[in-house]
Amino acid sequence: MSSITLKDIARKAGVSEATVSLVLNNKTVVNVRTRERVLKCIEEMNYRPNPLARGLALRRSMTVGLVCPDSENPYYGKLMKLLGHYCNRYGYSLVLGVSNNDPEMETRIIENFVDKKYDGIIILPLNLKTNNSPVFQEIRDKKIPIVFGTSYYTGFKEDCVLTDYAGGSYLLTDYLLGQGHRELWYFVTDDKEIPVSKERIAGYRRAYEERSLPVQEEWIVGCDSISVEYGYERAKQLLQEKTCPDGILAINDYMAYGIKKAIQELGYRIPEDISLAGYDDVFYQMIAEQPLTTVHQDMEKMAENTVLLLMTKMNKDFDPGKKIEKIISPSLVVRSTTKKVIR
Amino acid sequence: MSSITLKDIARKAGVSEATVSLVLNNKTVVNVRTRERVLKCIEEMNYRPNPLARGLALRRSMTVGLVCPDSENPYYGKLMKLLGHYCNRYGYSLVLGVSNNDPEMETRIIENFVDKKYDGIIILPLNLKTNNSPVFQEIRDKKIPIVFGTSYYTGFKEDCVLTDYAGGSYLLTDYLLGQGHRELWYFVTDDKEIPVSKERIAGYRRAYEERSLPVQEEWIVGCDSISVEYGYERAKQLLQEKTCPDGILAINDYMAYGIKKAIQELGYRIPEDISLAGYDDVFYQMIAEQPLTTVHQDMEKMAENTVLLLMTKMNKDFDPGKKIEKIISPSLVVRSTTKKVIR
DNA sequence: GTGAAAGCGCTAACAA
DNA sequence: TTGTTAGCGCTTTCAC
């Protein structure tokens, strides 16, 4: 059974296909009475235009593609939801592709978005400095509207909405130093040059410097994977090898929970023996018995500004109605996993 | 800058467009030398066929659409990931739409999938008996391959891969009754007729019946929303109004954590004063201090069978290589939130 | 205000 | 084995 087409509507309404198309696209040239008649037929026959044909002719689709590295992580889950919400607000639908932390998969998804003439692309990148696929050059050449969220690949710093990682990291480190901590380990990504880690480390160092306190390089721990499991393994290993630090900071809450488990299994108490802090302030707070000290990011704001930035790129005369913030300020949330160190 | 097309390849390779198309579609008729030449041009020019044009001509797209009600819930997150994996295995790409628990949104997403000629659709339905949209009738009429996962809407029971909810619920209830529990509250959905709740309740009742023990209707608690927050609120309210039960079962782990918080805030101990069990066995286990007694579902198996079922529908001569299981058996996982009741 | 016709990029008969 | 041609369903000049 074939679908009903614009031609069917034209026939039924006794007009040409062109007229139906004009009605469909809200062109005012059409006579009100014909317009009504056509709309009635569309309604009656429950007609929906073929987006493939439309996209082929128009080279646009009123849809935005979102690439996400991990669907299992609720941090991304929340972002997907919010981004979808804001895209819909401006009449766009959001289509998702999950790259599963695989650069090649990410590439394929993006190529597909480009090929399908999606009007804009949002990328939540992998934890890499860049994805070397030529599709990114293609995106530049064709000036395809693109926005990176949470981080960015080399060369796309301007097309990016972030929270102030250095600032958040500074806030947290400075607070803990003020509470008497001296040796703070920081679990970051293996490659310390990717934006997320680089900025975090910068904020951390700045806090130490401002207080003229020393940082030892080995306190900054690169991790192959920033998962709960890896955090657990690595923390367990380090805590057995070395002397116990005053506190441990994790690159995200996710990992912090893994570290927490390791600390407790080794018989240390949190926060009495070791302080622990995360980053992101994701919902696990509801689940974990002992709420985590962390850095909160306004995800609504991030999502909104990401979409607003994309809209201005897709539509030259789009008016965001307010200034677009590309760097969102985070805030410190002190809960129960950190303490004051008495010396 | 316009994209490079099949015509460009034809010109460059000195053949007709039809020939290029034949090469593209792996038709063996083409002479090996011409074929090589064409492939070389494709490679050199970095050509990718336009999927819109292709879809328009072919009426298929080698893509599967997945509708998911909630991207923030890691249960669905995991399912998305696994479904994507299995679709890719068979050469299909998976496109995601998030309905955000909104039936109209769900409808729009499905219509869009249909209109874009996706070859198959996987639906993870909302917690409703059905979605009344006419698009479902359309799917039947057009015989569009569709598979429901985790639950199904009225009339699609045959097109569905589930775990045995009644069985899992029976397993858990029977175990707890065997451990001396008598009054077990069950937090289910508001509408007790939707498959997930209906079957759960059936398994629960059966366990009581087999032991000739009475169930009181009010023990089965309908919940407007099955979120952590709602679980918390509702449990708090009930525990203050009524006498304390021997244990509480939640429709999922998610909700169980909310209930747990309520129990503890009211000063009861788990499991000494009240036992608590969830359902799904999602990863929070790594995060929560006190691992939850729950029912485990083999999500890999679910995802695999869901995709296999879809493949057989999309492709008449697809060979799954094994029997497709539409009902996956769950297993009981006893951890630390349940006890033996001494009477 | 409306219709005829060409074109978007690809596939699929049918010829050659 | 390859080329010609006519669509797929929609939009968009350009006449009328």
CA-based nearest residue in chain A for residue B108: A93
Residues 207-246 of B with CB under 8 A from A: 228-229, 232
Is residue A1 predicted with pLDDT exceeding 60? no
Nucleotide nearest to A25 (CA to C1'): D11
Stretch A290-316: mean pLDDT: 96
Cα gap B311→B87, rounded to integer Å: 9
pLDDT 10s digits, B125-160: 999 999 999 999 999 999 999 999 999 999 999 999
Higher pLDDT, A126 or A1: A126
Residues 89-108 of B with CB under 8 A from A: 93-98, 100, 108
Share of chain A above pLDDT 70, in %: 99
Q: Supply the pLDDT for residue B140.
A: 95
Cα gap A177→A179, rounded to integer Å: 5
Q: Which of residues 27-86 of A touch strand D (CB under 7 A)?
A: 49-50, 53-54, 56-58
Residues 107-146 of B with CB under 8 A from A: 108-109, 111-112, 115-117, 134, 141-143
Q: Supply the pLDDT for residue B210.
A: 98
- Least CB–CB distance from B77: residue in A77, A228, A289: A77
CB contact under 8 A, B115 and A50: yes
Tokens 């009903």 -> residue: A4
CB contact under 8 A, A286 and B261: yes
Share of chain B above pLDDT 90, in %: 92
Q: How confident is the model at residue A283 (pLDDT cuts 50, 70, 90)?
A: low
Nearest in space to B339 (alpha carbons), one of B242, B269, B239: B269
A18 touches chain B (CB under 8 A): no
Residues in chain B with pLDDT values less than 70: 1-2, 283, 285
pLDDT 10s digits, A76-92: 999 999 999 999 999 99
pLDDT 10s digits, A183-237: 999 999 999 999 999 999 999 999 999 999 999 999 999 999 988 899 999 999 9
CB contact under 8 A, A287 and B257: yes
Q: Supply the pLDDT for residue A290.
A: 87
Stretch A21-45: mean pLDDT: 93
Coil/strand/helix, residue B139: helix
Cα gap B118→B75, rounded to integer Å: 25
Q: Supply the pLDDT for residue B28.
A: 79
Widest distance between CA atoms in chain B: 89
Q: Supply the pLDDT for residue A170.
A: 98
Residue B333 · residue B293 · CB < 8 Å: yes
Q: Which burial class, exposed, middle or buried, applies to B193 when counting CB atoms under 10 A from its CB (0-12, 13-18, 19+)?
A: exposed
